[in-house]
Chain A
Amino acid sequence: MRIDVVDNHGQFTHLEGRALRDLGIETETIDNETPPEEIDADGLVLSGGPDIERAGRCGEYLDLDIPLLGICLGMQVIADELGGSVGSGEYGGYADVTVEIVDDEDPLIGSLAPETRVWASHGDEVKELPEGFSLTGKSDICGIEAMSFEERDLYGVQWHPEVAHTEEGEAVFENFRTICE
């Protein structure tokens, strides 16, 4: 089992590697300009970052046919690439947010239902889901906190499961591991 982390220049990218490492998963953090054919992993985490213009070749990784977990900007990249829309939130999402789990059967975050306390840090958010995706989490300050496309194993969370202050962050990575198996 190997899950690589694609670095979109986020300040928490290394913590995503740490979270996987702490679960005993083999992992490496790779540059987001890495050619898709050089990627050899059972799943990818697309990290957060400051700017969608700096997301490199992330969009191309959607065609690799392996499970993807987009975190923050990583989720926005998935949405943007597949025809959803991304824009600035009315209310910046920082620090403490309570996320309501909309679908308790969702493989990624269903186990966290009915709600979970998370740590967030974003100005932009996904405004409209791309086709095929369903809404799996929402909060008072952000309408789309999480989205899933189970058939294609594409997942996104707007918050940061990798930081210590997110209460059930480890469970998100555990669930993603199960998805990748």
Chain B
Amino acid sequence: MVRPEAFVDDAVAEIRDEIGDANAVIALSGGVDSSVAAALAYEAVGDQLTPVYVDTGLMRKGETEQVSETFSYMESLRVVDAEERFLDLLSGVTDPEAKREVIGEGFIREFEREAKEADADYLVQGTIYPDRIESEGGIKSHHNVGGLPDVIDFEGIVEPVRDLYKDEVREVARELGLEELVAERMPFPGPGLAVRVIGEVTEEKLSVAREACHVVEDELEEYEPWQALAAVIGKATGVKGDNRVHGWVVSVRSVESRDGMTARAQEIDWETLQRIQSRITGKNENVARVVYDVTHKPPATIEYE
């Protein structure tokens, strides 16, 4: 287990060393990894730092507002509304790896532009160890690793938490006083809801995934899942109010894990599952059915794509 106090000192010194007198941008997603990276970088280089949060349109319900509030103490925070650009880029893209690449590249371009404006030569990212191992092993590319385009307009990329596991990042977050983040935020993938809709990313599917994820997180809070989510996985026939519906199938997933490397599907009681089903089908007229995913990791992964 990492020793948080020593880690923070070392990481801050390392960041200061790497960035020197230059300016840097931080890729802030609001999740615990990038938040810890941001806090470390802020401590290291203070005003030389511009935290950039890109609203890709692939975010969870209320996420952008929450992030803006949490990090409002950093005066240089920039919130970029890039929803239209990302939906354009993703239009017609159906292959899961291609989607991740498109998003990774889109991210980098947004940052490059912001970095130019901030006169920054360095990009700080919250890449953690499992992101790297899954990318290197060719299982999934992560937006901040495998999705990197060949030409990057930065002098260097700084990844202060690259050797840590999620549980260790949380320890460091506590050390940094980011308590609410630790308690309240579940892991959320870099490519956002795009990997929670199978196939092409459309506004309609995103909206279903967003609402359904909200219901799942809300209903499963007491189970203290490591990660809980809903994904739009296909279409099926249903009947609503005497009308045939050919609607979306939403898969609900809730797992417990230490580090994300292995995961166990949680045993959820029937009543809770039924309430989730009823809330999702009731609020989304285009959803025909809800299923619960009982697969552990391995053989499945936690997210769908």
On whether the beta carbons of B299 and A9 are closer than 8 Å, the reply is no
Instruction: Fill in one digit per residue for B135-164: 1 if any A CB lies within 8 Å of its CB, else 0.
Output: 001010000000000000000000000000
Say how far B107's CB is from chain A's closest CB, in angstroms: 24
* A157 contacts B by Cβ under 8 Å: no
* B298 contacts A by Cβ under 8 Å: yes
Say how far A7's CB is from chain B's closest CB, in angstroms: 10
From B129, B133, B137, B263, contact of A50 by CB (8 A)? B137
Contacts of B263 in A (CB 8 A): 165
Q: Smallest CB-CB separation from A22: which chain B residue?
A: B1
* B296 contacts A by Cβ under 8 Å: yes
A94 to B263, CA, bound (A): 12
Quick one: given A11-B139, A22-B1, A95-B299, are A164 and B133 in contact (CB under 8 Å)?
no
Instruction: Fill in one digit per residue for A144-181: 1 if any B CB lies within 8 Å of its CB, else 0.
Output: 00000000000000001001110000000000000000
* B259 contacts A by Cβ under 8 Å: yes
A121 to B262, CA, bound (A): 10
On whether the beta carbons of B137 and A9 are closer than 8 Å, the reply is yes
Instruction: Fill in one digit per residue for A1-32: 1 if any B CB lies within 8 Å of its CB, else 0.
Output: 00000000111111100100010000000000
Q: Smallest CB-CB separation from B265: which chain A residue?
A: A95
Instruction: Fill in one digit per residue for A38-77: 1 if any B CB lies within 8 Å of its CB, else 0.
Output: 0000000000001000000000000000000000000000
On whether the beta carbons of B257 and A95 are closer than 8 Å, the reply is no
From A9, A18, A94, contact of B296 by CB (8 A)? A94
Contacts of A50 in B (CB 8 A): 137
Q: Smallest CB-CB separation from B256: which chain A residue?
A: A165
* A33 contacts B by Cβ under 8 Å: no
A49 to B298, CA, bound (A): 14
Interface residues on B, range: 10 to 19
A12 to B129, CA, bound (A): 11
A9 to B259, CA, bound (A): 19
On whether the beta carbons of B296 and A95 are closer than 8 Å, the reply is yes
Quick one: given A95-B296, A163-B262, are A18 and B165 in contact (CB under 8 Å)?
yes
* B264 contacts A by Cβ under 8 Å: yes
From B134, B139, B261, B297, contact of A15 by CB (8 A)? B261
* A114 contacts B by Cβ under 8 Å: no
On whether the beta carbons of A119 and B262 are closer than 8 Å, the reply is yes
On whether the beta carbons of B262 and A164 are closer than 8 Å, the reply is yes
On whether the beta carbons of B129 and A95 are closer than 8 Å, the reply is no
On whether the beta carbons of A95 and B298 are closer than 8 Å, the reply is yes
From B1, B258, B261, B296, contact of A12 by CB (8 A)? B261
Instruction: Fill in one digit per residue for B243-270: 1 if any A CB lies within 8 Å of its CB, else 0.
Output: 0000000000000011101111000000
On whether the beta carbons of B299 and A121 are closer than 8 Å, the reply is yes
Q: Smallest CB-CB separation from B167: which chain A residue?
A: A164
Q: Smallest CB-CB separation from B264: which chain A residue?
A: A165
On whether the beta carbons of B299 and A94 are closer than 8 Å, the reply is yes
Contacts of B298 in A (CB 8 A): 94-95, 121
Say how far B207's CB is from chain A's closest CB, in angstroms: 33
Interface residues of B in 286-305 (CB under 8 A from A): 296-299
A-B contact pairs, 11 of them (CB 8 A): A11-B139, A14-B129, A15-B259, A22-B1, A95-B264, A95-B297, A95-B298, A160-B262, A164-B257, A164-B259, A165-B257
Binding site for B on A (CB under 8 A): 9-15, 18, 22, 50, 92, 94-96, 119, 121, 160, 163-165
Known: A12-B261, A15-B259, A95-B299. 5 other contacts (CB 8 A): A14-B133, A22-B1, A95-B298, A96-B264, A121-B299
